[in-house]
Amino acid sequence: MNSFAINGRKIGKGYPAYIVAELSANHGNDINIAIESIKVAKEIGADAVKIQTYTHDTLTIDCDNEYFQIHQNTLWDGESLYSLYKKAYMPWEWQPTLKEFADSIGITLFSTPFDKSAVDFLEDLKMPAYKIASFEIFDLELIKYTASKQKPMIISTGVATLEDIEDAINACKSVGNEQIALLKCTSSYPAQLEEMNLATIKDMGERFNCIAGLSDHSFGVVAPIVATTFGASIIEKHFMIDKSIGGADSGFSLDKREFELLVKSVRNAEKSIGKVKYELNPKAEISRELFGRSLFVVKDIKAGDIFDSENIRSIRPGFGIKPKYLNDILGKQAKIDLKRGTPMKLEYVK
């Protein structure tokens, strides 16, 4: 399926990129910050805000042995998985309020569930779509259960092989859900531009015949702009209203000013892509005449004189015949008198 809709907004080829502000852990443990973030995301042009629905106990266990320690050159090195998720999670009791607020101001809110209980909770909130995080792509039972709700499925592929992606797609299709989008994702925090391989986005859409996009953990707005040129139909980027809030994801999140720049840049990139076209627009036609080269009389000529390189030249502007006719004219006679500065025409040749 090459398009689907979330809350009536069409997503896919031929439609503007669907820009998602990922709130994630950027709420400062304050529901008022979360509410304000949704409000600002709407104001600066995001199409949707995404949250995450888990608890530290549903994601992992409270264990400090080496298997549960983070030491992979990330922003969180030195922490245990349990302590990280305990600080980062968004309280479930906030989420009905956030959904109600988002609905009231006209911006879509959806979430990433991390277990079946989260899916059930989100279904009660009437979430319009679901996101599967990169590290959950191996949990085919979670994907199948989430897809069974027949909502659009947006799946990040940051740690997935081709086989993993095929398995996830087949899990969705096995329960009759073909509303699938795959997001190219580089699961480094932060991601470096040279490891992102954004050309994969176009291939991913064609290979799996589905919507393709980008989930971005890099600094700045370069990757989303480039992804747009490769046909990304969804752009997801971590967002916070002010970096002074801090938090687990603040190091690779955009603040209000930066995210607004992202939205404007993606929209401008879309305008510049346009369509395949070789016809000249009216402005180009004018420029062609004003600044294009053509053949001009550059020295007074009497009827019967021979055209040569001294009296005919290729110069600007473009009101004469094209320079490609020069060799057809040289050595031939003029039919009429021609004054210097006259655009050359074939009918002046005897």
Residue with tokens 């690779």: 252
Same domain, 200 and 340: no
| Residue 140 burial (10 A CB sphere; 0-12, 13-18, 19+) | middle
Q: Is residue 197 part of a domain?
A: yes
Closest CA to 346 of 337, 331, 338, 328: 328
Sequence-ordered list of residues with C-beta below 8 angstroms from that of 59, at least 6 positions apart, any chain: 81, 85, 114
What is the share, in percent, of the chain residues with pLDDT greater than 70? 98
Instruction: Say if CB 205 and CB 232 are below 8 A apart.
Output: no
**What average pLDDT does range 7-16 have in this prediction?**
96
Residue 258 CB-half CA count within 13 A: 19
Q: To the nearest whole number, what is the mean pLDDT of the chain?
A: 93
Provide the 10 A C-beta neighbour count for residue 171.
25
* Structural domain span for residue 165: 3-54+89-273
Question: Which DSSP state fits 27?
Answer: T
Same domain, 151 and 48: yes
**What average pLDDT does range 186-192 have in this prediction?**
82
- Is the preceding peptide bond at 91 cis, omega within 30 degrees of 0? no
Residue with tokens 């009905």: 96
Q: For the domain that residue 313 is a member of, what is the CATH number?
A: 3.90.1210.10
Closest CA to 18 of 27, 28, 8: 8
Task: Identify the band that residue 73 occupies on the pLDDT scale cut at 50, 70 and 90.
Answer: low
32-54, pLDDT tens digit by residue? 999 999 999 999 999 999 999 99
Task: Identify the band that residue 76 occupies on the pLDDT scale cut at 50, 70 and 90.
Answer: low
More confident residue, 289 or 86: 289
d(CA 338, CA 336): 6
296 — phi, psi (to 5°)?
A: -130, 150
Domain count, the chain: 2
- Please provide the distance, in angstroms rounded to a whole number, between the alpha carbons at the two ends of the chain: 65
Quote the pLDDT of residue 11: 98
Q: Is the pLDDT of residue 246 over 90?
A: no
Q: Is residue 94 part of a domain?
A: yes
Q: Is residue 241 part of a domain?
A: yes
Which of residues 231, 254, 273 is at a domain's end? 273
Q: For the domain that residue 169 is a member of, what is the CATH number?
A: 3.20.20.70
Same domain, 185 and 297: no
The amino acid present at 33, given as its one-letter code, is I
Q: What is the 3-state secondary structure (H, E, C) of 182-251?
A: EEEECCCCCECHHHCCCCHHHHHHHHHCCEEEEEECECCCHHHHHHHHCCCCEEEEEECCCHHHCCCCHH
Which of residues 231, 246, 273 is at a domain's end? 273
Which of residues 254, 273, 292 is at a domain's end? 273
Same domain, 339 and 222: no
Q: Is residue 63 part of a domain?
A: no
273-285, pLDDT tens digit by residue? 988 899 988 999 9
Same domain, 230 and 288: no
**What average pLDDT does range 45-72 have in this prediction?**
86
Same domain, 100 and 196: yes
Question: Which DSSP state fits 287?
Answer: H
d(CA 312, CA 346): 12
Question: Which DSSP state fits 134?
Answer: G
3-state DSSP percent of the chain in helix, strand and coil, to 5: 40, 20, 40
The torsion of the CA quartet 136, 142, 148, 150, rounded to 10 degrees, works out to -30
Quote the pLDDT of residue 80: 78
**What average pLDDT does range 165-186 have in this prediction?**
97
